[in-house]
Structure 1
Amino acid sequence: MSDTTSRALTLLNLLQTHRHWTGPELAGRLGVTERTIRRDVDRLRELGYRVESVPGALGGYRLEGGTAVPPLLLTDAEAVAIAIGLRVAATQRLIDGPETTLSALAKVEQVLPARLRTQVNALASAVQPAGLGQGTAVSTEVLAELAMACRDRERVRFRYVSAAGTQTERRVEPHTLAPADRHWYLLCFDLDRDDWRTFRVDRLSEVFHTRLTFQRRDLSPEMVADFLQVARAWQRQPVETEVVMELPLDQVKEHFGHWAQGASEESADRTRWPVGGADFRETMYGMSWIPAGVGYRTDLAEPARSELREVLVRMLAALDAPAPEPARAKDRPVG
């Protein structure tokens, strides 16, 4: 870096740390003449910094807001504070539009030296804003890593623990990070499953950057919203079961679309599909969407199994019984 550039950056740092500087003060700090200070101020103005100058004995220089945001120079302590603040804002959804927070977080995290990132990780884990966030804790470091991968279109690997406690290693192309209800979700293309998948970030760890970029696959905002809706519905339910239906996996995916997430091949012509709900009625509703004419079995446990059977027996009896007499029309008042 040339002496001129280095001096201009030092001048910028001084202007950012003090509201007002006189010409002699700046010249003394930098060990140059006031004429040199004026030339350096002109260079900063050319770069987009709005430096106000006031002539006279009480005059001097000060940095003002302009029409655009120029680069900022930050001390180590300031960079750490901003990174922690952005991590908290991201995990607590304090700012409308998560993309803005995550984009800013990725930019700051990218340029942090390793020693400062270690400090940020240690401090951020201890920051718990009072009265905010009732969801599962999310690793701010993992969130920052995924934000950078989404922005840079970089393939990543990570470990994931499912709701059932099964741990797997996934290779994905990250597409979107989004909050929904009380959780953060990563929407990505799973390279091993050759399909879109949605992962809860609080169950994700050990993000590894492959440095391999990819061509972003097109997803409309409506499709992203659909994937997130499915992910929200996939939270562990009070009544859960699995059905094995007499239908190949590819046909299940064609019929159910995004709702086929979690379906797996039982055999060449059978598919295992998890279903759940708040009670046996919601579970029954889920099973009712299995295509007409397709046989299936279920492992629905007691007492939901007996409750569902009792309801179905009465329902079938009602359908087999003679239809009730039509309701009589009420006598109309004579006018």
Structure 2
Amino acid sequence: AAACRDRERLRFAYRDSGGAETRRAADPHGLVSAGRRWYLVAFDTGRSEWRTFRVDRLTSPLPTGVRFPPRDLPAEDAAAFVTRSLSRSRPPQRAELLVHASAAELADRFRVTDAEVEPVDDRTCVLRTAPDSLEWTALRIAYLDLGFEVREPAELRDRLAAMAARLSAAARPPGT
């Protein structure tokens, strides 16, 4: 955060999604929280391009003492840059559920900024979302305390079944 504020170039090790580690030099612009992760938006001086770095994959950050002039970010702001970057890098994964509640009731219980709710009738609706994590989606929909059916993907049904088995085992009296 201080390097962003002071416009001081950083050197760090970065591990990509495949596990390969590289050394980077970058001019940090800002930190953004998106989903459950933090991202550093920076101009990668080695590649001469703007990049989004997951902070949990960044190690050994060292300020270099080199100050850099401000650059124009190719987005409205750092958050918009991260959103655009993530939408390009993540393969689209859709989840669709039939929820046994009105669209209004579901909207009251589920943050619909990252989902689409379509009414079917007065008592049911379809929830469509593009989750970054099926585990998180399973937890969110289980927490709704509404009846639902998973239309897709099958992997979400598998996650829910595994969660149900763990919860059922935890609810048994000790020693049974």
TM-score by length of 1: 0.26
Higher relative contact order (CA 8 A, sep 6+): 2
Q: Which has the higher strand share?
A: 2
TM-score by length of 2: 0.49
Q: Which has the larger radius of gyration?
A: 1
